[in-house]
Amino acid sequence: MKNKAPGIKTVGKELRRKLKNAAAGRWEDMRRDIILFLGLALVISLAAALSNEAAGPVTYVTDGDTITVDGVGVVRLADVDSPELGAPSGAEAKEYTREQLLGKQVFLDLDNKTGTDKYGRKVCVVLLANVDGTAGAIFNRMLVDAGHAKIEDAKDNEFNPADWWPAVPSEELGDKKYVGSTKSNKYHYPECRWAKKISPDNEIWFSDSEDALSHGYVPCGVCYPP
């Protein structure tokens, strides 16, 4: 007996089944691609947030340590203190910040502990933008290194100013904690910009602040060791 050719209903049913399976396969592929895309986007956004939580151009400079960033608002540089405008060197500090930042893109590491100061300004570490668009030099440190601010380590934010300078390997220091010069009466953290200017022939090292004070030395007015 010859096999009967499949009827129209059978062919139609089989065709619908194949189309349904094909559609399900395409949807599964699309769903997998969407999940992968969203996962990648999340990883990228988290990585960006960890290194710089906000960004924008600087639109106004109030003084040496206070700026306005477009889309962010008024920003107070964390853990540094520049002279007020009416004080000696206040205008110079503002001019330095203006020259370095006004109209330029910056990245901001926002304080996640307190967030703002008592005036409602966002407390941040400000990073300059590199030519390739990535976050670069820490402006808070630059301001101190240029002599236009002093360290004022506030304990109500997440930042530690000591992290802004490269650490001196502990094996090189031994029990030496602070350094002074035989040509002055100041002692410093080793990372202080003034410490780096001391000639090795003039260095004198101290194990702690009491050791430095007992030798007639006083704390540096820039890096403020205890």
- How do residues 145-195 score in pLDDT, each as one tens digit? 888 988 888 889 999 887 887 655 555 556 678 999 888 889 998 888 888
- Which of the listed ranges 5-9, 21-25, 49-53, 129-133 does the model predict with the highest average pLDDT? 129-133
* pLDDT tens digits, one per residue of 72-86: 999 999 999 999 999
Residue 46 is predicted with a pLDDT of: 38
* pLDDT tens digits, one per residue of 54-72: 999 999 999 999 999 999 9
Residue 59 is predicted with a pLDDT of: 98
Q: What is the fold of 54-164?
A: OB fold (Dihydrolipoamide Acetyltransferase, E2P) (2.40.50)
Residue 76 is predicted with a pLDDT of: 97
Asked whether residue 139 carries a pLDDT value surpassing 80, the answer given is: yes
- In whole angstroms, give the CA distance from residue 85 to residue 164: 26
- In whole angstroms, give the CA distance from residue 12 to residue 30: 27
* pLDDT tens digits, one per residue of 147-159: 898 888 888 999 9
CA distances, 139 to each of 50, 76, 223 (Å): 18, 12, 16
Q: What is the mean pLDDT of the chain?
A: 81
Asked whether residue 96 carries a pLDDT value surpassing 90, the answer given is: yes
Asked whether residue 197 carries a pLDDT value surpassing 50, the answer given is: yes
Rounded to two decimals, the pTM is 0.58
Asked whether residue 124 carries a pLDDT value surpassing 90, the answer given is: yes
Nearest alpha-carbon partner for 80 in 122, 143, 26: 143
Nearest alpha-carbon partner for 57 in 99, 107, 126, 103: 103
* pLDDT tens digits, one per residue of 30-44: 666 655 555 444 434
CA distances, 30 to each of 41, 95, 212 (Å): 16, 55, 69
Q: Hey, where are the domains in the chain?
A: 1-51, 54-164, 170-219
Asked whether residue 201 carries a pLDDT value surpassing 50, the answer given is: yes
